[in-house]
Amino acid sequence: MRPSPFGSSKVPVAVLGATGAVGQAFVRLLAVHPWFELAEVAASERSAGRSYAEATRWIGDDEIPPRVAQLTVLPCDPRSVRSPIVFSALDSGVAGEAEAAFAKAGRAVLSNAKNYRMEPDVPLVIAEVNPDHLDVLEAQRKNRDWPGAIVTNGNCAAIAAVLPLAPLQQRFGIRNVFVATMQAVSGAGYPGVASLDILGNVIPFIRDEEPKVEAEVRKFLGHRDGDRITDASLGISAHTNRVPVEHGHMVLMSVQLQKKADLAEVIQTLSQWRGAEEACGLPSSPDRPLVLADAVDRPQPRRDVDAGRGMTVTVGRVREDPLFDVKLVALGHNIIRGAAGASVLNAELMAATGRIELP
């Protein structure tokens, strides 16, 4: 692992929306982080003033980290939250205004919300795929007249799709993609989906999900064009479905390549890909961001969702497609790689490349 760019001292960070499912994932990851010190937790006004333990309905079999349990929940206001780095797990209904306020106050905001993802001067980043998109931050500060920054990670299903698409785009180019997802109930937050709706069932509708997947894949695979990000010119059609699985979004894709390739070339490209060098060796970086499963019936959420501490996307069933060129199945942990872990990795990338200035 790389040494900390901050030397021997940890940098204080805060989590907004800390009591929710993604907020709790941030707490788990940051409570033991080698570069960052989880100094502050913030949430809604009804939680503010209480201890984190009192305000939070903790999800999972583990315990709240003792030091964090004693922290007082603060309001989501830069006058109260003083940390220079802020991780946002806020709901989109309040995230837009709150995140902008922190950026105006000079903070680096790592957002899991959808509000700013598609803005052309806001980086939508997967650390291993498009770290150069962070170069638009200078333009963002100028355009919006704020000294801070907002950097977003994507929709959880889009991230699982893009990690295997990126090496194919880089080597062969992509014309069209057909995507069908099977998404875990934890992607709906807590308490998720009503049990009598999801048990023994599949729900073929997730509100706003299909356009998000389609738009975000294009932006992730796009390129920096001066002061803005320009989307990749590929066709994509997405179907999104909710299935009775706790964690793990499965993405089934058929891909039409610009440059024809045989199956062996595709498999070699996927198996050898390690992503951008800047993203290697960071505290949250997995040894392999993409792993090919050998068994014919993998990946499976029960067996593969925690690969790489939840940061590895597992790909299987890579085969020829009779309509396009190749089809495959990808699986990613929607709460870790698809949410909190992606934001933490983006913050590490920004720190390691000198894009976070401390007061």
The catalytic residues are 156, 249
Spatial distance between the Cα atoms of 215 and 297, rounded to a whole number of angstroms: 30
Phi and psi based region of residue 202 (left: phi greater than 0; alpha: psi -120 to 50; beta: remaining): beta
Give the N- to C-terminal CA distance of the chain in Å, as an integer.
Answer: 26
Q: What distance lies between CA 340 and its chain's CA centroid? A: 6
Spatial distance between the Cα atoms of 182 and 303, rounded to a whole number of angstroms: 16
Spatial distance between the Cα atoms of 112 and 346, rounded to a whole number of angstroms: 11
- ∠ CA 200-203-206, nearest 5°, is 145
- ∠ CA 247-222-312, nearest 5°, is 30
User: What stretch of H or E contains 180?
Assistant: strand 174-183
3-class SS at 187? helix
Spatial distance between the Cα atoms of 339 and 118, rounded to a whole number of angstroms: 17
The DSSP output letter for 72 is B
User: Are 80 and 42 a contacting pair, CB within 8 Å?
Assistant: yes
3-class SS at 224? strand
Q: What's the Cα-to-Cα distance from 145 to each of 54, 228, 239, rounded to whole Å?
A: 38, 16, 39
Burial (CB < 10 A; 0-12, 13-18, 19+), residue 73, is: buried
β-bridge mates for residue 180, sequence order: 239, 252
User: Are 74 and 101 a contacting pair, CB within 8 Å?
Assistant: no
3-class SS at 78? coil
